[in-house]
């Protein structure tokens, strides 16, 4: 946007399915068979404001939308303490429905996986 100087991007990311094989192989439960996909698709939107030195990002999952909701919001901005530092703020939401008894297991796995990513 030439008037604001904000650069907007929207893209689709392809990620490898990281759900453990033991959860994907259980084909006796019809809902679980959707977990067998090799890739997961995410939509990411970002707004980069070079004048204010910040970037906001929103990501949500496009795969398994009938069973799960996964979204994440991040903000990168110049630190008030030191302009050479970056403050990083992240929020995420995970909800799994329609997988019966596996709802809690899948939510716990997703939460653990995302926490590992945050630590990196």
**Residue 9 has what pLDDT?**
96
pLDDT in tens, 63-98: 877 777 888 899 999 999 999 999 999 888 887 776
What's this model's pTM, rounded to 2 decimal places? 0.69
pLDDT higher than threshold 70 for residue 23: no
What is the three-state SS of the chain?
Answer: CCCCCEEEEEEEEEEECCCCHHHHCCCCCHHHHHHHCCEEEEEEEEEEECCCCEEEEEEEECCCCCCEEEEEEEEEEECCCCCCCEEEEEEEEEEECCCCCHHHHHHHHHHHHHHHHHHC
pLDDT higher than threshold 80 for residue 28: no
**Residue 30 has what pLDDT?**
46
């Amino acid at each position: 946007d030439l008037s604001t100087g904000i650069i907007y991007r929207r893209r689709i990311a392809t990620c490898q399915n990281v759900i453990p094989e033991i959860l994907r192989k259980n084909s006796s439960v019809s809902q679980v068979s959707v977990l067998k996909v090799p890739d997961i698709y995410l939509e990411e939107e970002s707004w980069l404001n070079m004048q204010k030195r910040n970037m906001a990002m929103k990501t949500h999952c496009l795969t398994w939308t009938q069973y799960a909701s996964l979204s994440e919001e991040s903000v990168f901005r110049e630190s008030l303490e030191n302009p050479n530092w970056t403050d990083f703020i992240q929020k995420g939401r995970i909800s799994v429905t329609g997988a019966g008894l596996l709802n809690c297991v899948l939510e716990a796995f997703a939460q653990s996986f995302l926490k590992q990513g945050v630590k990196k």
